Structure 1
Amino acid sequence: MSKSIKGFCLHGREKILPNSGITVTSNTSVVAMQIPELKEGEILARTLYTGICGSDNSAALGKPNFDWVERPRIIGHEFSAEVLELGPGDHGDVKVGDVFTPLAMLGCQDEDCPACSVAKWNLCPSKQIIGFHRNGGFGQQVILESDRVVPLMEGLTREQGALVEPLSVIVNALHNKCNIKPGQDVVVTGCGIIGLMSAELARAAGARVAVTGIEHDVNIRLKKA
């Protein structure tokens, strides 16, 4: 039997501009949503903390480069959650009560797929992104494949679990690609959340870090940086 919960839903595509008279919530609403029976390999989880990504904002503001996002859709892909129930099939080490952060992207996993065969799910043409192709972390509960479950390391809080996904992007860019060494100079262009986290990671690697921004950032974001 399905059950009803609530979720924050993206449903419209209207382009929202400053001073246009259109409210910023016109493309979104809180809706009742049904949780269906679990299929093979799926889990049901209770969402704990969910971050708001810039892409969530862009989709909600109707920016044309996010027209591809399926609607209606419960958005949110940066979150922590707790496993409530296991569906049929083998779930490996995943068990009820586990607290985790999900893999935002999951490819087709076909052994013949050039991307999935080398674990590059983000390059799979058939990838499914949580919150864009399927319901995500702004629902009270969410259904996911157990393949997406990444248990939180000991010592990480549930709040910090919602930051793992954006931080992983930064780690890939700075740690895996840039090979920053102590004593180097690093300039981070932009002082939003990703920029500030990049600055923290570069500093932790031993670099001398400068953060830049635009005039609009001077009194708030750059002052924080």
Structure 2
Amino acid sequence: MDTLVEYGDVLAAGFWTTIQLFLLSAVGALILGTILATMRVSPIPALRAVGTGYVTLLRNTPLTLVFFFFVFAYPKLDLIRFPFFTAAVVALTVYTAAFVCEVLRAGINTVPIGQAEAARSVGLGFGQALVHVILPQSFRSVVPPLVSTLIALLKNTTVAAGFSVSEVGSVIPLLNEQGEPTLNAFVWIAVGFLVLVIPLTLVQRSFEKRWSVAR
């Protein structure tokens, strides 16, 4: 408790940065992942190829290398220079989007083919059927794996500490410099992540119960 009392403000500031990283990256990953999922199931071969290539590349690339690219390699192109925080958000977004895409694609495949045929029979195009008929049903069926992906994203934010982002992962070396036992820092960070993950789990269960009744 002495560590919490003395360094509570440092831990709070670190977790606040972690929460910002998570929220921004989660929104970006959900949007980009949905776009990629629509590309993966598109009737246009070129779009399917781009979506497949993106997912294959990012899912098989370590997150650390994605961070290295956006923090160190991308600025060498002299296009747009990101602050470290923005680069971390972009890295987490493009990496997590590949996993969100596959989760949504699996959900799309669970929707009976008759739903798409019925949508076409009333004059809806592919995009309209996807937005109004298929995606809403697929989101309902993938709530557990989608929340698991977001929980993994929350934990992946600690990688940003190695790239000059002052999130909670950077608190450990700071406390070590002050002579605090490493175990104390790990314990309080673990407790903090537990506090952050529990609401996500409760939201998942709430949506599962609500949508299972609706279906």
Same fold (TM over 0.5): no
Name whichever structure is richer in helix by fraction: 2
Q: Over alpha carbons, which structure has the higher Rg?
A: 2
Flag the structure with higher strand content: 1
* TM-score, with structure 2 as normaliser: 0.25
Give the structure, 1 or 2, with the largest relative contact order (CA under 8 Å, sep 6 or more): 2
